[in-house]
Amino acid sequence: MDDLINSINEKYNALGHDPNVFLKGLLLSKPLNYWDYIQVDTLLTLQKPKTDFADEYIFIVYHQITELLLALVNHEMKQVIEATTIDQEMIAEKVGRINRYMEVMDSSFAVMFRGMNWDDYNTFRIALAPASGFQAVSFRMIELMCTDLINLVKPNLRATHSTFDAEKMLKDVYWQDAGMDRKTGKKSLMLRQFEEKYLSQIIAQAEAMKRKNLQCIVQNISSMTDDLKNALRKMDYIFNVKWPLSHLRTAEHYLISKGQKTASTGMSDWQKYLHPNYQRRMFFPFLWSENELKDWGNFEIV
């Protein structure tokens, strides 16, 4: 016990804080319990359905879980990017964690695919317009942490960006096609809402990540281990092929499976937006062979 008290004294004296104040506070504190620590009561009040359809609750909870998984991805990415030294073992570990989170996200589409009544979903979704999963800024921020901005620009427009200009390049990123008619130059309400709320933050993130994103970090490694290379390839595949295809299959189930194509709540051309063959984005193009790049979206890796 004396050793424990001495350690506490050393810790708080080093911080310039009176150890006795800390100990008195500990004496007055209530024992911790699960529901307060996890904030269960608050968490279960965050579902606010817009309709009386029971399956809308599933739809909301599913997307909230997705946001929490993306928060875990962001948590791991920050640790890699903010590290002061390049440690391949640490990066491989963090990327491995990210891959597990993304595997959960990918498999979780079954919650919606098999867990909602088709007719009910296609009725209550009308009340959600113009809200769309497209507006999940967490995913946009993570993309910018993963790779150079030019890799998110539509392939046919990359040659027009010879110098880095985040604001101009973001006008040509692949996801703009989900909310903008390039023939008329008009943006959907979904995209306008999204940009009004988040565009300044996205531009700032793009500029901050210009030379410190994950691609930049790993490209400075002269001899990459197989563990790290395989983890990065798997990450690229899950983010940019596997997850979009699972999303696409789920959308097809609800929006075209009964013989007619239905518009998304955000009014996007969702089939082109979601399919990797149209997006053709990858975080680490230098890790893929020429044949793999040509066949992007049409092969599987484990």
Q: What tens digit of pLDDT does each residue of 85-129 get?
A: 999 999 999 999 999 999 999 998 888 888 899 999 989 999 998
- Do residues 261 and 255 lie in contact, with contact meaning Cβ atoms separated by under 8 Å? yes
CB atoms within 10 A of CB 281: 23
52-83 confidence digits (pLDDT tens): 999 999 999 999 999 999 999 999 999 999 99
E strands, the chain, in order: 180-181, 186-187
Give me the CATH topology for the region 36-127+134-294: Methane Monooxygenase Hydroxylase; Chain G, domain 1 (1.20.58)
pLDDT over 50 (residue 139): yes
Q: How many CA atoms lie within 13 A of 152 on its CB side?
A: 25
List C-alpha distances in Å: 237 to 90, 150, 243, 286, 289: 20, 18, 8, 13, 13
DSSP string, 230-243: HHHHHHHHIIIIIH
Given a cut of 90, whether residue 301 has pLDDT beyond it is no
The pLDDT value recorded for residue 266 is: 45
What is the distance between the alpha carbons of residues 47 and 31, in angstroms, rounded to a whole number? 29
Residue spans in the chain of domains classed CATH 1.20.58: 36-127+134-294
Residue 289 has pLDDT above 60, yes or no: yes
Residue 260: the pLDDT is 56
Check residue 272 and give its pLDDT.
62
Average pLDDT over residues 8-28: 90
Rounded Cα distance between 21 and 27, Å, is: 10
Question: Residue 196 to residues 143, 193, 202, 264: CA-CA distances in angstroms?
Answer: 20, 5, 11, 21
Nearest 10 degrees: Cα torsion 3, 6, 11, 14: -140
Average pLDDT over residues 174-203: 90
Question: What was the pLDDT predicted at 255?
Answer: 74
CA–CA separation, 196 vs 166, rounded Å? 17
Q: Contact at 8 Å (CB) between 53 and 124?
A: yes
With 0.85 as the threshold, say if the pTM is over it. Answer: yes
- pLDDT computed for residue 270 by the predictor: 57
More confident residue, 201 or 301: 201
